[in-house]
Amino acid sequence: MNNPESTSYDVRIHQIVEDKRTKKRPHRVRWTVADRPRFGKSFATVGLAEGFRSDLLRAARKGEAFDLETGLPVSMLRKQQEKQKQENTVTWLTHAKQYAAYKWTRLSANGRKSAADVLRDITVALLPQRGDRPGKDELSVALRRWAFIPARNIADAPPEIQDAFSWAERHTPALSVLEDAEVLRSLLDSLMLKQDGTRVSANYFDRRHAILYNVGEYAVMKERCEQNPLSNPKLKWERPVDLKTENVIDPRAVGTMSQVESMLTAVTYVGVEQGPRYVAYFGLLYYAMLRPAEATDLEESQCILPKEGWGLIVAKGGKPNVGQDWTDSGEAHDDRGLKHRGRKATRDVPIPPRLVELLRHHIDTYGTGPEGRVFRTVRGGPYTVKEAGRVWGKARPFGLSPADQKTDVLSYIYLLRASGISYRRAAGVPVKEVSQWAGHSTGVQEQNYARVLTGLKDHWTRRMDEFMDA
């Protein structure tokens, strides 16, 4: 700024003139710097014009250099640039909204919903605690349902939601606050907690942390931060022991085939009509290793069910119920492909006669719905993973022994899939084949099922004994 080639001390400040052609800002201050064309600035009143001219005179008397491009004293130019920098600083909320818009086409509907949840949580944590702060519910809706859904215009929201959003915009900090290690440590501490103050699960904290990291990467990409704030070596934030996750299946939660079959029988006693409709569904999770969403939208055309012997399931992506706000179609169910694969990808899963029997009985008893959908509720609607979990929970007291009920064995429906994978590995099926049938990589299986496979030591030693005896 003080480069001699861009500044000069040759300054002449002229008298204020009145421009009678305009009434809006008729009083004009004029001055000249070196050999540059005359500079000028107009004001609405004489007092404002005189004040500005006095500032110029004061700078010249102090011996300040004047900028050749703008004509301003370097001190005045510096203040102006700082003000512009502050005005042009991207706020956290603006950055978060832009991130949500950027990721929208790159995420599944469930991913969009999850990102909006976390962006809301981060924003709420960064906003100041003031007496005029909006209510928790209004602020949550304004952020999650309006700010972080790109197609929505806040002007269409109810007045109380608009007010909450306006307050958040006025009080959101600059994105740069995340570069302050102390602020970021405090934010990470707050992300360990739910809104009611209790601790979140380790997996949910991982999700929050991952999205915060991705938001930081987006800031680097947009050249708003030199490095990801979470990569700052000065951060030195330590994750509590109870929030350290192990992406492994607990062998104590995996059910044996006899336990699974006992639970399938118990499911038939849930309600008059409800439970029996879910037996084949739960059987798919175990015997075909399908994910709950994949089983929910199974169509008859995906099933090869011979009268005898093994059958086949051609697995394809499910349609999870995530809510109409998050899907491209505006429908509650998201039409997506297999996890981590293309939308039209499928995988063939051989199924044992027991599952063939369950599916044939289900179709013969209840028929199929629109598009050949195998599973429908009593009222004809689609299954939801949430409702399936309720049915499973009601059956657990009848399907497990009192001792097993006190443990985590088969405590939620996804453990049926884990049990099915473990069953195949125990049967000696190579990891590559099991991974292909389950729809994940061999690396995921070796990592997530490491402890389960370790628990099969006795099984494998018996197999070796049998082989050597033979």
pLDDT at residue number 456: 55
- Tokens for 227, please give them: 């490095």
pLDDT at residue number 338: 45
Where would I find the beta strands (DSSP E) of 293-413?
303-304, 311-315, 347-351
- Tokens for 295, please give them: 């089983």
Closest alpha carbon to 133 in 177, 172, 174: 172
pLDDT at residue number 340: 47
Q: What are the distances in angstroms from CA 341 to CA 121, 189, 328, 433, 435?
A: 30, 35, 18, 17, 14
Question: What class does CATH assign to 251-463?
Answer: mainly alpha
The structure tokens 């299946």 sit at 249
pLDDT at residue number 381: 85
pLDDT at residue number 66: 95
Domain boundaries, the chain: 7-88, 92-243, 251-463
Q: Which residues of the chain have pLDDT under 50?
A: 338-342
